[in-house]
């Protein structure tokens, strides 16, 4: 546990411009610095770094944050690693606080601790198992790659974790997916005689496991942790934590089907691969991936199961497709998965296949015409019926328009006829669209919050008194005031860092965007005072109502003189 006071000191010492400029080239543009965004592909710079506000924001993809979050996203570091990296850069030593004790009301901490402890146990067991080591070597894996992915081994036997956890009967082990209780109440380890692949979240914490059989006679081949408060399959991708840097460098990501595919490819220095976790690709997976690249290549086996999995992935991805990204599909020869193909052939041959992957629209047409030659009117109708729901999900206007033109050539209809048949409107891309957001009107409280973030030195002791409603913006204002009161001097990056631990990610993203278009040269003192007076006036009736409710609940003898005067004045009004 890193003390918040240290994070505050660290953010006051580091310069976000210096940290980012060492990794990507920044150019001066007025009061700020700009560059082409390192988190998505673009030709015109929309990534801005503010030395006065000490944060970055991209108007293209919305990425934002402080020096800490930049290292986490760009370098693929965990939170602790990013803190250590920044501390070293300014000559600070990172202190550690005693970890939280496990308590009944801290389930999330319990689960995380239990899964981490189990992961360490499995890694130790791998080093003790000649059988497991031989299996990995036979698959072409070295000890270095096993260490990189924290691969472990769950031994044979029913209750090996009993040697790790003093209280094997604790429900936390069941909730964490480590232990199973059968109908008779007997407890036993979920993972037995399997290679263990720890699954990490974006912050670098182990949240679950995948287990692969060693003995071909065992079933099922892959066995994952169940859904837990830590682990939801539809949100997580295996290998993403280690792949992020390579994905950005190569400009695309490979989405494969299994853990061994990811690890096998990494062994051959193809480190831009991730895998889904026993579920089809979801819209959440796509949204995660497009933070790092605009080109996603789905890589599947060439058999019936692979083709079915690819079609499910395509359907689940449609709603996330934009005109700025590319979805492609790579099918390997029958009998091969990525791991076996690269061992039998070569890295160069695999990468050539990746370059020749089929674009989304061509893949859809190919899939729907593989058993339909469009030779009759009835077959054309069948094709149109099958492709119609796809257009209802596809929101990319340019791609949709070109896709319709391609279909019109196949069916021998013009564009208007295609729109009529598919019951869609002719949507043309907007011209002259600006990357910069419009200066939309914002509430007085929100503006007050933004100005306080920029100038925390102008916060007054009494500011918290008139933010009393349950409205989100009142809560935001109170948090900003509380943070600065509790911790002394603050800059914008520090406040935003701690707000990020209290509020929804989308709200923090919105605040970053709004702060980014504020004029650094504007006179804030008078603006803040005017807003303060206006908000106080508008909130006064609510404050009076609350004071009245509190006073009327008390007996006459327990009222303070101030409360008595207040009630008299209310009566006169």
Structure tokens at 514: 């709004």
Check residue 296 and report its DSSP letter.
E
Asked if 39 contacts 53 with a C-beta cutoff of 8 angstroms, the reply is no
Q: Look at the block and give the residue holding tokens 């660290």.
A: 10
Distance CA 117, CA 25 (A): 41
pTM: 0.61
Within a domain: 115: yes
Distance CA 113, CA 107 (A): 10
pLDDT in tens, 100-120: 343 433 444 578 889 999 999
* Domain stops at, among 193, 224, 255: 224
Structure tokens at 443: 């509430």
CA-nearest of 564, 560, 447 to 514 is: 447
Question: Do 351 and 378 reside in the same domain of the chain?
Answer: no
Distance CA 454, CA 456 (A): 6
Within a domain: 101: no
Q: Which residues are paired to 28 by β-bridges?
A: 33
**Does a cis peptide bond (omega within 30 degrees of 0) precede residue 252?**
no
pLDDT score for 554: 66
pLDDT in tens, 176-228: 999 999 988 899 999 999 999 999 987 788 999 999 999 888 888 888 999 88
Question: Do 245 and 349 reside in the same domain of the chain?
Answer: yes
Return the beta strands (E) in 23-159 as ranges. 27-29, 32-35, 47-50, 55-58, 64-65, 152-154
Question: Do 543 and 460 reside in the same domain of the chain?
Answer: yes
Question: Do 41 and 150 reside in the same domain of the chain?
Answer: no
Question: Do 268 and 211 reside in the same domain of the chain?
Answer: no
Distance CA 203, CA 107 (A): 18
pLDDT score for 327: 94
Question: Do 470 and 520 reside in the same domain of the chain?
Answer: yes
Question: Do 146 and 163 reside in the same domain of the chain?
Answer: yes
Distance CA 114, CA 207 (A): 10
Which residues constitute the domain of residue 283?
Answer: 240-365
Specify the CATH number for the domain of residue 281.
Answer: 3.40.1360.10
Q: Strand 295-300 vs strand 253-256: parallel, antiparallel, or unpaired? A: parallel
**Three-state DSSP class for 13?**
helix
Residues 6 or more apart in contact with residue 346 via CB below 8 angstroms: none
Question: Do 499 and 542 reside in the same domain of the chain?
Answer: yes
Stretches where the chain sits below pLDDT 70 are 1, 96-109, 424-441, 468, 486-489, 519-523, 539-559, 561-573
Within a domain: 493: yes
pLDDT score for 428: 45
Distance CA 52, CA 291 (A): 26
Question: Do 396 and 352 reside in the same domain of the chain?
Answer: no
pLDDT in tens, 24-66: 889 988 888 999 998 887 788 989 998 888 889 998 888 888 9
Q: Rounded to whole angstroms, what are the CA distances from 373 to 41, 239, 364, 382?
A: 38, 40, 14, 11
Within a domain: 230: no
Specify the CATH number for the domain of residue 145.
Answer: 3.90.980.10
pLDDT score for 482: 84
Within a domain: 94: no
Q: Judge residue 231's burial from the number of C-beta atoms within 10 Å of its C-beta, 0-12 exposed, 13-18 middle, 19 or more buried.
A: buried
Within a domain: 287: yes
Q: Which residues are paired to 32 by β-bridges?
A: 29
* Domain stops at, among 178, 196, 224: 224
Number of folded domains that form the chain: 5
Alpha helices in 270-303 (DSSP H): 283-289
Within a domain: 431: no
Reported as half-sphere exposure (CB side, CA atoms, 13 A), residue 377 has a value of 1
Asked if 385 contacts 378 with a C-beta cutoff of 8 angstroms, the reply is no
pLDDT score for 463: 80
Within a domain: 536: yes
pLDDT score for 234: 83
Burial 443-463 (b: 16+ CB within 10 A, else e): eebbbbbbbbbbebeebeeeb
pLDDT score for 19: 92
Q: Judge residue 94's burial from the number of C-beta atoms within 10 Å of its C-beta, 0-12 exposed, 13-18 middle, 19 or more buried.
A: middle
Question: Do 493 and 376 reside in the same domain of the chain?
Answer: no
Question: Do 406 and 451 reside in the same domain of the chain?
Answer: no
Structure tokens at 403: 């896709």
* Domain stops at, among 365, 380, 398: 365
Q: Look at the block and give the residue holding tokens 């860092």.
A: 497
pLDDT score for 509: 83
Question: Do 78 and 179 reside in the same domain of the chain?
Answer: no
Distance CA 245, CA 271 (A): 9
Specify the CATH number for the domain of residue 24.
Answer: 3.90.580.10
Asked if 177 contacts 134 with a C-beta cutoff of 8 angstroms, the reply is no
């Amino acid at each position: 546990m890193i003390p918040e006071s240290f994070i505050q000191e660290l953010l006051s010492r580091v310069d976000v411009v210096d940290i980012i400029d060492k990794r990507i080239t920044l150019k001066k543009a007025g009061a700020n610095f700009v560059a082409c965004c390192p988190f998505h592909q673009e030709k015109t710079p929309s990534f801005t770094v503010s030395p006065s506000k000490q944060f970055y924001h991209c108007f293209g993809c919305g990425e934002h944050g402080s020096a800490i979050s930049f290292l986490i996203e760009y370098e693929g570091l965990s939170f602790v690693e990013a803190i250590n990296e920044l501390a070293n850069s300014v000559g600070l030593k990172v202190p550690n606080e005693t970890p939280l004790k496990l308590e009944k009301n801290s389930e999330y901490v319990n689960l995380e601790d239990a899964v981490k402890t189990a992961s360490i146990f499995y890694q130790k067991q791998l080093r003790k198992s000649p059988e497991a080591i031989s299996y990995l070597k036979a698959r072409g894996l070295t000890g270095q790659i096993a260490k990189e992915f924290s691969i472990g081994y769950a031994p044979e036997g029913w209750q090996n974790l009993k040697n790790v956890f003093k209280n094997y009967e604790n429900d936390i082990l069941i909730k964490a997916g480590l232990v199973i209780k059968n109908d008779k109440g007997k407890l036993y380890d979920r993972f037995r005689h399997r290679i263990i692949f720890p699954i990490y979240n974006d912050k670098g914490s182990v949240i679950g496991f995948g287990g692969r059989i060693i003995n071909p006679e065992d079933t099922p081949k892959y066995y994952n942790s169940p859904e837990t408060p830590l682990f939801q399959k539809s949100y997580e991708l295996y290998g993403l934590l280690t792949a992020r840097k390579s994905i950005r460098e190569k400009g695309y990501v490979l989405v494969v089907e299994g853990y061994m595919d990811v690890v096998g490819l990494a062994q051959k220095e193809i480190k831009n691969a991730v895998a889904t976790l026993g579920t089809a690709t979801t819209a959440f997976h796509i949204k995660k991936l497009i933070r790092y690249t605009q080109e996603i290549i789905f890589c599947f086996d060439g058999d019936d199961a692979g083709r079915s999995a690819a079609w499910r992935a395509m359907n689940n991805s449609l709603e996330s497709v934009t005109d700025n990204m590319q979805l492609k599909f790579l099918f390997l020869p029958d009998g091969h998965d990525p791991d076996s193909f690269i061992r039998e052939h070569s890295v160069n041959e695999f990468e050539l296949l990746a370059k020749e992957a089929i674009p989304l629209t061509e893949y859809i047409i190919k899939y729907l015409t593989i058993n339909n030659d469009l030779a009759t009117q009835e077959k054309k109708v069948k094709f149109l019926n099958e492709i119609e729901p796809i257009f209802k999900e596809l929101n990319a206007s340019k791609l949709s328009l070109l896709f319709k033109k391609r279909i019109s050539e196949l069916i021998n209809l013009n564009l208007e006829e295609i729109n009529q048949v598919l019951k869609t409107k002719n949507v043309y891309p907007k011209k002259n669209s600006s990357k910069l957001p419009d200066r939309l009107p914002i509430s007085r409280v929100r503006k007050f919050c933004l100005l306080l973030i920029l100038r925390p030195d102008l916060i007054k002791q009494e500011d918290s008194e008139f933010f009393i409603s349950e409205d989100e913006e009142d809560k935001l204002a109170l948090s900003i005031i509380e943070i600065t009161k509790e911790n002394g001097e603050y800059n914008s990056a520090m406040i935003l860092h701690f707000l990020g631990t209290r509020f929804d990610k989308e709200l923090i993203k919105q605040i970053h965007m709004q702060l980014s278009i504020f004029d650094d040269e504007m006179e804030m003192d008078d603006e803040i005072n005017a807003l303060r007076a206006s908000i106080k006036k508008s909130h006064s009736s609510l404050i009076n109502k609350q004071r009245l409710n509190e006073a009327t609940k008390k007996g006459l003898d327990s009222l303070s003189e101030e409360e008595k005067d207040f009630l008299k004045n209310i009566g006169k009004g």
